[in-house]
């Protein structure tokens, strides 16, 4: 992967969130300057706007999900709102006594289901995290064996994350769903649907809703280097058999995703989705070759459909994601090596989640206690501070982040990051407002930048 080329797309490279590459920004600008009109009219500019918003944007999202059809794509202002609208769409299909299972992860895939349970009289259950490393009470993971006993003949929906935005653990989604389907059949559950939050997964790995066999899946485009818009996949069978319309009563939307779009996102943000795939392709030689057949990286007004419908593209994108994963491993290795060193353990540093196996020459992002429970690790690294064994005072998460803020040039954060339930249950009990220190790395970061982070940590922990 060409990190230098990736960085050339970003005018500024500081802060905790992924930035937006120039070719995505140019699409936002081009839409507002040249096609910011009402859709559905017969005049030429409106026809272009309609194609961009109703065809190109959803098709780009379809590819990022590896869905069958753009008709299965809902576009909304945020992932929280998309799932809230989905939950409202299920209000007539979920009955009193049905059971919904959630986790303590990001509230976007929890709160809407709590609201649905309250509206319908459904029973809410929680798939708890388990401590999988006896040495570290913060080494938590979602374990399939803890989910299966919760599934009964009344189970209607199960919602969980593909990657924890606190722990960084990659959940083996396909394995979890396979186990859910088998258990549901065993106990005689008539209809069990699965909703996966892929927001923290999407910047690092390829989503595949078909391989996962999920009914609903969501990601936020700003996490994959685009504008602030969310894409929700809804399986075709669910559109026709589970979800009721939440849009205006006079609109005829029986089996299309539009039934969950009661006022969508900004049209320019939808069109910006078409810039993600050209950007990703530009990161590898094979992708650049495919991209070279178009003008999409340099012409924000070019029709993206020839590229988006190119049969070679899915395989090329797989190669891009593999290159991203390999590079991100080189970023995680020095950071996790430092944070899990015995000196930092004595200082009171505890990784939330998996600390990997990088000490003593190791090069594995998944340590032995986690290997049977996770499918990898994202370079989202969180830690807490406990009382030290070397006589130094315990630091609050806020103090560490404030030190970096004053030091400048590096953006890290602290808090619960909307995974309030998970953070509030960290034991020994943490103040959710102070929460964890989180360091979020992505593919355009460099090892040199990680070394600067480590230098800052050495200073503040000294």
**How many CA within 13 A on the CB side of residue 122?**
27
SS3 category, 137: coil
Contacts of 447 by beta carbon, 8 Å cutoff, 6+ apart: 330, 331, 334
Q: What's the pLDDT at 179?
A: 99
Q: What's the pLDDT at 15?
A: 44
Backbone angles phi, psi at 3, to 5 degrees: -65, -40
**Reported CATH class of domain 57-275:** alpha beta
Q: What's the pLDDT at 82?
A: 98
Count other C-beta atoms under 10 Å from residue 390's C-beta: 9
pTM comes to: 0.94
Q: What's the pLDDT at 3?
A: 83
**Percent composition of the chain: helix, strand, coil (DSSP 3-state, to 5):** 45, 15, 40
**Rounded distance, CA 427 to CA 39, Å?**
53
**Rounded distance, CA 299 to CA 301, Å?**
5
Render 347-416 in DSSP notation, one character per residue: HTEEEES---B-GGG--BSS-GGGTTT-S-B-SEEEEEE---SSSPPPPPHHHHHHHHHHH-S---EEE-
DSSP code, position 262: S
Walk along the chain (462 residues) and give the pLDDT tens digit of each residue.
778 778 777 655 544 445 778 889 999 999 999 999 999 999 999 999 999 999 999 999 999 999 999 999 999 999 999 999 999 999 999 999 999 999 999 999 999 999 999 999 999 999 999 999 999 999 999 999 999 999 999 999 999 999 999 999 999 999 999 999 999 999 999 999 999 999 999 999 999 999 999 999 999 999 999 999 999 999 999 999 999 999 999 988 877 899 999 988 999 999 999 999 999 999 999 999 998 888 777 777 788 899 999 999 999 999 999 999 999 999 999 999 999 999 999 999 999 999 998 887 778 999 999 999 999 999 999 999 999 998 899 999 999 999 999 998 899 999 999 999 999 999 887 788 999 999 999 999 999 999 999 999 999 999
Q: Does domain 321-461 have CATH number 3.90.1150.10?
A: yes
Domain coordinates in residue numbering, the chain: 57-275, 321-461
């Amino acid at each position: 992967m060409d990190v230098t080329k990736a960085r050339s797309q970003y005018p500024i490279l500081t802060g905790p969130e992924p930035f937006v590459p120039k070719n995505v920004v140019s699409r936002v600008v081009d839409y507002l300057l040249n096609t910011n009109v009402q859709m559905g009219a017969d005049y030429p500019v409106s026809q272009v706007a309609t194609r961009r918003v109703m065809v190109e944007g959803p098709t780009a999202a379809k590819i990022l999900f590896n869905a069958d059809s753009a008709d299965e794509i809902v576009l909304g202002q945020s992932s929280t709102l998309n799932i809230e609208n989905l939950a409202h769409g299920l209000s007539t299909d979920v009955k009193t006594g049905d059971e919904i299972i959630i986790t303590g992860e990001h509230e976007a895939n929890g709160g809407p289901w709590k609201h649905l349970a309250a509206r319908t009289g459904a029973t809410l259950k929680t798939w708890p995290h388990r401590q999988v490393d006896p040495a570290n009470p913060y080494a938590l993971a979602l374990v399939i064996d803890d989910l299966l006993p919760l599934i009964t003949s009344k189970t209607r929906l199960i919602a969980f994350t593909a990657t924890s935005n606190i722990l960084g653990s990659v959940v083996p989604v396909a394995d979890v769903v396979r186990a859910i389907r088998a258990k549901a059949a065993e106990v005689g559950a008539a209809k069990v649907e699965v909703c996966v939050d892929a927001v923290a997964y999407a910047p690092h790995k390829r989503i595949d809703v078909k391989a996962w066999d999920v009914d609903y899946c969501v990601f936020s485009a700003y996490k994959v280097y685009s504008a602030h818009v969310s894409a929700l996949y809804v399986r075709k069978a669910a559109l026709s058999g589970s979800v009721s319309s939440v849009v205006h009563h006079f609109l005829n939307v029986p089996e299309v995703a539009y039934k969950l779009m009661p006022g969508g996102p900004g049209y320019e943000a939808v069109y910006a989705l078409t810039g993600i795939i050209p950007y990703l392709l530009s990161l590898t030689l094979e992708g650049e070759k495919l991209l070279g057949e178009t003008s999409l990286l340099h012409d924000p007004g070019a029709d993206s459909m020839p590229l988006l419908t190119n049969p070679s593209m899915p395989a090329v994108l797989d190669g891009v994601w593999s290159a991203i994963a390999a590079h991100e491993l080189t970023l995680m290795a020095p950071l996790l090596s430092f944070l899990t060193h015995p000196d930092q353990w004595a200082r009171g540093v505890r990784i939330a989640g998996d600390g990997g196996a990088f000490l003593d020459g190791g090069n594995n992002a998944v340590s032995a206690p986690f290997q049977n429970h996770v499918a990898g690790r994202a370079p989202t690294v969180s830690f807490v501070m406990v009382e030290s064994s070397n006589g130094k005072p315990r630091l609050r998460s806020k103090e560490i982040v404030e030190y970096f803020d004053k030091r400048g040039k590096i953006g890290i954060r602290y808090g619960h990051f909307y995974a309030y339930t998970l953070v509030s249950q960290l034991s020994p009990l943490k103040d959710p407002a102070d929460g964890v220190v989180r360091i979020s790395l992505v593919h355009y970061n460099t090892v040199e930048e990680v070394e600067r982070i480590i230098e800052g940590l050495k200073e503040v922990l000294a």
